[in-house]
Amino acid sequence: MNIMDFNVKKLAADAGTFLSRAVQFTEEKLGQAEKTELDAHLENLLSKAECTKIWTEKIMKQTEVLLQPNPNARIEEFVYEKLDRKAPSRVNNPELLGQYMIDAGTEFGPGTAYGNALIKCGETQKRIGTADRELIQTSALNFLTPLRNFIEGDYKTIAKERKLLQNKRLDLDAAKTRLKKAKTAEAKSSQLNSARPEGDNMSEQEVRITQSEFDRQAEITRLLLEGISSTHAHHLRCLNDFVEAQMTYYAQCYQYMLDLQKQLGSSFPSSYLCNNNHNAGTPVPSALPNVIGSSAMASTSGLVISSPNISDLKESSGSRKARVLYDYDAANSTELSLLADEVITVFSIIGMDSDWLMGERGNQKGKVPITYLELLN
């Protein structure tokens, strides 16, 4: 037998098997043939694997959108990944905004209030951009990659073995159908006192073989599917890593903005107003019990707390003792740094901004924000 004859016979056998499966599948759908049902445990494992695959894909894709909102950038990164090449480094949005602010502040003049504030904001935005870049890298390595490996690796293997199990089941049911037909023919032959057809024995042997192959494939598939529980445990660890990366990122951003708020609090003149009609004089803590000030913000809720003592102090040339409510870092040499709970002497100077007083501690003097003070009787 030459190779050509072997290939033709194999092709014919494969075509016959495919046709037999197609006929069996169609008859099952039409309710014209019986179907061997999988055991309940295996069905549950298959359902769990399919559910895991669907939700893993959704979580993975949405995480990619969260980390990289630009769809074009995601496509570019995907292409480079498939080509096994490193994607070119690009400036992210916070870094780009930060650079624009720094350039604008430099153009307006670092010595001006607006220019100085723009430069400080720009530097903070660039720090946030760096933190954002680190979040993306950490999340891609510790969270997205394991999820993608499951979809493109483990689940593909499961799907392949599941397809083989489906084919083995179709072969088994087709063999059972042929055996059933052979037994029907045997019954007719017995009525005519004929010998048992030889095809009957062949059909029974075929059923035994296909049943053995089906059972073996069911066991292989079951062992693979039982690994889904381990996959869940692994993805749980990856999820914890992702949460920790986000916690680090948001903590960094909060600290950067807190530092920026302190820097800007002393550099914004009172003439600059926020869009929500709050005074933008100084950085204000979220809670201000017993805080003094003729027009001080109490919190982001917009509550305004005032004290009659401030107007009296500003109209007089005297001085008063005041307790410091919160730490304050001086933004420049004209201001005085403060420590919570210390007591300093404060007084007003004619023409001074309404949100500030002069503070004195020993031989140190400088401007202090009134929202950080409580006048003492």
pLDDT in tens, 309-336: 555 665 555 788 999 998 888 888 889 9
Asked if residue 330 lies in contact with residue 337, where contact means CB atoms within 8 angstroms, the answer is: yes
- The secondary element (H helix, E strand) that includes residue 356 is strand 356-361
* Torsional sign, CA 244, 248, 254, 258: positive
Write down the residue that tokens 């920026």 correspond to.
Answer: 260
What global pTM score does this model have? 0.62
What integer pLDDT is reported at residue 78 of this predicted model? Answer: 67
Query: Are 296 and 306 spatial neighbours (Cβ–Cβ below 8 Å)?
Result: yes
* Sign of the torsion formed by the C-alpha atoms of 365, 368, 373 and 375: positive
Task: Dig out the tokens for 345 from the structure.
Answer: 């002497």
Burial profile 199-224: b = 16 or more Cβ within 10 angstroms, e = fewer? ebeebeebbeebbebbeebbeebbeb
Helix, strand or coil for residue 254? helix
Low-confidence ranges of the chain (pLDDT < 50): 269-308
Which structure tokens are listed for 228? 């889904």
Q: Quick one: tokens of 330?
A: 């001086």
Give the 3-state secondary structure of residue 279.
Answer: strand
CB of 338 closer than 8 Å to CB of 328: yes
Q: What is the pLDDT of residue 286?
A: 39
Could you tell me which of 140, 134, 139, 106 has the C-alpha nearest to residue 120?
106
Question: Residue 250: what pLDDT?
Answer: 96
Alpha-carbon dihedral sign for residues 216, 221, 222, 226: positive
pLDDT for 111 equals 87
Q: Is the distance from CB of 73 to CB of 87 less than 8 angstroms?
A: no
Angstrom distance (rounded) from CA 239 to CA 51: 18
Which pair of structure tokens corresponds to residue 372? 């950080």
Q: Which tokens hold the place of 136?
A: 């993306």
Per-residue model confidence (pLDDT) at position 121? 96
- Among 321, 356, 352, residue whose Cα is nearest residue 336: 356
Closest C-alpha among 88, 122, 94 to residue 107: 122
